[in-house]
Structure 1
Amino acid sequence: MDTSQRHSYLHDVAAREGKVLATNAAEALGVAVQTIRRDIRQLCAAGLLERIHGGAVPPSGVSNIGYGDRRALNREVKLRIARRAASLIPDNASLFLNIGTTTEAVAHALHGHRNLMVLTNNLNVANILANNPTCDVVVAGGSLRRADGGLVGDLAAIAIDRFKVDFAIIGTSAIDLSGDILDFDPEEVRVSQAVIKAARSCVLVADSSKFTRKAPVKIASLAQMQHFVTDRILSEALINKCADWNTRILRA
């Protein structure tokens, strides 16, 4: 079986079953796992698949991939982004962290900070920051999304409207090359928009894989962000737009 046939097989399995695992595909095709991993990298680079731990899934469109797979996706890059974002936050500051595996990494990176007041609609973030005795944690109540510990909907947005924080650190599911920040759940987007309104400074944290993904609901524009922390941007035109918008790009 040649490369194009293997690629077709991997793509078809991912579309039919929701994901394709490298070890299973290698056994089915009678080739080395390393060969399948190389094929998966090529398909992901072409935007035909999206990597997860041990394999790949179809690229996102109208539904997000599972929380566990999202945590494993680009883990090392997310940690670098998180450390860079945390360096923007001084001690004695107030901030918001929304739903997402990258914002959860930021919560870990804030461990050495002192006297923070953190508002969040992410139960995972709240649990992470509970280990910091000098950090006050406020959880915005809402409807629990059991898949990832998020609190969403009007109740969460109303709670956020009562605050004015120094920083909002925003994660996202996808970024359009026009600069639109996108997500899947309108109930979550409603909360994120309230957060942006309630913050003096907004920081978007997202790795470059978000440029190859699609999602149907617009949160905001990069023009509304003061900082964008990422590993790389795939469009020179978008870099120029960020300069026009005074959105500072920080590479991790």
Structure 2
Amino acid sequence: MSGNDRLQAIIDLLRAENSVETEDLARRFEVTPQTIRRDLAALVERGLAVRTHGGARRMASTSTIAYEDRRLKRAREKEAIGRVVADMIPDGCSIMLNIGSTTEQVAQALSDHQGLVVITNNINVVHILRMSRIASLKIAGGSVRPSDGAIIGGDAVAFMDKHKADFAVIGCSSLDPDGAILDFDDREVSVARAILRNARKKILVADRSKFDVDASVRICSLDELDIVVTDGPPPESFLQAAQACGTEVICATGPT
């Protein structure tokens, strides 16, 4: 079992039982207690658990755990997408990043870059990059959504409209085979739109599971993007729509 799979299993146990014991987990997963302690420390750092004597107990809302679930699902694919995008970003440029587990993997892959100006409405991106060798790290003001650390609302939109960046990297909740890029929350979408209109090169990051999700709020269409990076070939209709408007589709395993 991989580390990510084990973390997901521990989250599931915390959801079901509210508390776990280190020794019990070590036996269950056939790893050392030291490995389990590191796993629990990672969950504590993410706000999903509180350490107890000999284990941990749950400390998170259902919505926070739901976001952690999304982080862990298709984690390797998202990491691959992040590495592909980071290779496109040169040192010393400016980049805007929105909320999302895949954009966070882009931030992680940018950790070794130098001289970046990073502009975001994602608290998690700040945590990822604050100790890296960046030139500037700017975060929007506004209302914080506790479930995922997104800063949303009119203040965040105004903040993005005050800046201009070389690159925008956005995620989404849903992809439609006809080329529509979609999400659930109007406030989140408004920030994503502001990021796109204030960037010179526009990149969407999304794994193929987004084609299985139905959302109703349009962020943009393919013709408003320069590049889409995913983890494998999308539906043929999506590829045709991208080709018709000149948007490049790149798979983390190779170009389509």
4+ residue runs over 3 A deviation: none
Letter of the 1:189 counterpart: V
Q: 2:115 is matched with which residue?
A: 115
Deviation at 1:237, TM superposition (A): 2.0
Specify the code of the residue in structure 1 equivalent to 2:102.
Answer: T
1:233 CA displacement: 3.4
Partner residue, 1:191: 191
Q: 3-state DSSP class of the match of 1:168?
A: strand
1:200 equivalenced with 2:200 (yes/no): yes
Residue of structure 2 equivalent to 1:9: none
- Counterpart in the other structure of 1:66: 66
Q: Say whether 1:96 aligns with 2:119.
A: no
Q: Residues 64 and 178 (structure 1 numbering): CA distance in 2 closer, same or farther, change over 3 Å?
A: farther
Q: CA RMSD in A?
A: 1.8
What residue in structure 1 maps to residue 221 of structure 2?
A: 221
How much does 1:211 deviate? 0.7
Q: Aligned partners of 1:195, 1:65: CA distance in 2, in Å? A: 27
Is the partner of 1:240 in helix, strand or coil? helix
* Match of residue 81 from structure 1: 81
CA-to-partner distance for each residue in 1:66-114, whole Å, 9 max, x for gaps? Answer: 1011111100000000000111100110010100000001100001111
Equivalent position SS for 2:141: coil
Residue type at the aligned position of 1:236: E
CA distance in 1, matches of 2:251, 2:66: 27
Q: What is the aligned partner in structure 2 of residue 138 from structure 1?
A: 138
Matched letter for residue 201 of structure 1: K
Q: Which runs of 5+ in 2 are unaligned?
A: 1-11, 17-62
Distance 1:106 1:233 in 2: 20
Does the CA-based 8 Å contact 1:173-1:213 persist in structure 2?
yes
The answer to whether the 8 Å contact 1:82/1:102 transfers is yes
Structure 1 residue runs of 5 or longer lacking an equivalent are 1-19, 25-62
Q: Give identity over the alignment, percent.
A: 44
Measure how far apart 1:248 and its partner are: 0.7
Normalised to the residue count of structure 1, the TM-score between the two structures is: 0.73
Aligned counterparts, 1:25-44, within 5 A = none
TM-score, normalised to structure 2, is 0.72
Q: In structure 2, what residue type is equivalent to 1:76?
A: R
Output one character per residue of 1:42-79: Cα deviation in whole Å (capped at 9) or x when no partner. xxxxxxxxxxxxxxxxxxxxx99810111111000000
SS at match of 2:88: coil
Q: CA–CA distance in 1 between the matches of 2:249 and 2:237?
A: 13
Cα pair 2:81 2:229 within 8 Å, conserved: yes
Q: Secondary structure at the match of 2:219?
A: strand
C-alpha offsets along residues 120-140 of structure 1, whole Å, 9 cap, x if unaligned? Answer: 000000111101033410001
Amino acid paired to 2:150:
G
**Contact between 2:111 and 2:133, CA under 8 Å: does it hold in 1?**
no
* Number of residue equivalences: 193
Structure 2 distance, partners of 1:223, 1:69, is: 31
Equivalent residue, structure 2, for 1:128: 128
Q: How does 1:164-179 map to 2 (within 5 A)?
A: 164-179=164-179
Compare 198-207 and 213-222 and name the one that shifted more. Answer: 213-222
| SS of 1:113 mapped into structure 2 | coil
What is residue 16 of structure 1 aligned with on the other side?
none
> SS at the partner of 1:118?
strand
